[in-house]
Amino acid sequence: MKKQAFNPYLPSWEYIPDGEPYVFGDRVYVYGSHDFYNGYVFCMGDYVCWSAPVDNLGDWRYEGVIYPRNEDPLNKDGKMCLYAPDVTVGPDGRYYLYYVLDHVSVVSVAVSDTPAGRYGFYGYVHYEDGTRLGEREGDQPQFDPGLLTEGERTYLYTGFCARGDKSRTGAMATVLGPDMLTIVEDPVFVAPGCEYSEGTGFEGHEFFEAPSMRKVGDTYYFIYSSIVMHELCYATSKEPTKGFVYGGVLVSNCDLHMDSDKPADMPVAYGANNHGSMVEILGKWYIFYHRHTNGTWYSRQGCAEELTILPDGRIPQVELTSCGLNGGPLHGKGEYPAYIACRLFTDTPSVYVGGEKFPKIMQDGRDGDEEPGYIANIQDSATAGFKYFDCYGITKIKIRVRGYADGEFEVKTAWDGEVLARITVKNSNVWEEYASPITIPDGRQAIYLTYRGGGNASLLSFTLE
């Protein structure tokens, strides 16, 4: 039976950011880095892989560890982290995994005969004389490799450009030969960093990190994280290594710029860095990105939204939803976990994650414990939004709450809409269920829960009946 697809699309206890999605055969595979729940830095885990049938995007399967951090000869002691990877299929039909360790500036490569590995170390990207890319005089450090292979040529995109760092110019494209390691065309710059963007058309959305490339028809789409970090942007060209023109924002993990139901400059989720890419699945395009949990930068989870590519090639920015890969709204009745909230905010706006009074998505236990996610630190004015549901005949809503809180949850279908029900909650250190009659109009609706009162609550789930 087909499962509903949520955001995040993986289990609530899994933390796989920087997602690069690909369809191989009849499955979609996602490759990313691997954060830990309650981690203290980025990318603490080995590379793992998840996959799903192309016709059932709610049914994700764990493929296991595909590449351990100590497989690289430079990291035999395992002290370095595996940063965001990418995978491409070489001219020999094998699968090549590219990555950069966190304390070196060279690009490592691993290879496998199958999409989900296990991958084995293969070598380092290098010039014809053997010098590794990133170590020749004049090279800029390598970071966040993204790949596109066409025939016997593989285009490698790398780069990181922080504000104020004039030593970093922009995103680089390097062409590799059929052995997937040897450089046949030296690096060139394809998108500017913020220190070199004047007059380029990229101003305000300059390249920061996370380069990725996809081809749609005869157009190359360069996807990247901009200098403001929370947004994924794109630029287009008819050639893979030059001529890129800024196109726009694809997604913001705090939903900035979206004005369909709120002011465009109002953040409604707690964002930070972003990384992801596009994929076509059964004729539909999606953008994969990540969100931040646990009130920190270091426990990120993969999400996805459906894209619309217009006839002229432009891609409008998509809003954050709870049902990105579902193909439409979620069923309008049943119990839903609170961790699928796509909007989370208070009366104090914040673009970036962190803050003692902000709600956060977290879990009990330690990393790896298969404990359900929930929303914690719910204080006065905290709002959780869930989008969208195909509502019909709803007459009752129930919530599961714990914590030392004495107040009520307002139920609305818009963040600033009419209060349709009020659910009183009381102090409890275990999950308690509370209910209220409600009339929600039939049709496609959002559900918003806003807490008013004292104390600090946690929300595990809500049920529409």
CA dihedral 22, 190, 290, 267 (to 10 degrees): -140
Quickly tell me which residue has 């590794």 as its tokens: 132
Is 255 assigned a catalytic role? no
| Structure token pair of residue 86 | 């990418």
| Residues 331/391, Cβ–Cβ less than 8 Å | no
| Structure token pair of residue 304 | 């996805």
3-state secondary structure of 440: coil
| Residues 181/132, Cβ–Cβ less than 8 Å | no
Cα separation, 447 vs 113, whole angstroms: 45
Tally Cβ neighbours within 10 Å of residue 108.
Answer: 26
| Structure token pair of residue 374 | 């929930």
Taking Cα atoms as reference points, which of 298, 353, 302, 354 lies closest to residue 102?
298
DSSP 122: E
Is 206 assigned a catalytic role? no
Strand ranges inside 161-312, DSSP E: 170-176, 183-192, 207-216, 219-226, 231-237, 245-252, 277-281, 284-292, 300-307
Phi, psi of 285 (to 5 degrees): -100, 145
Of 209, 231, 305, 410, catalytic: 209
| Residues 389/444, Cβ–Cβ less than 8 Å | yes
Of 18, 63, 195, 231, catalytic: 18
Q: Please list the active-site residues.
A: 18, 209
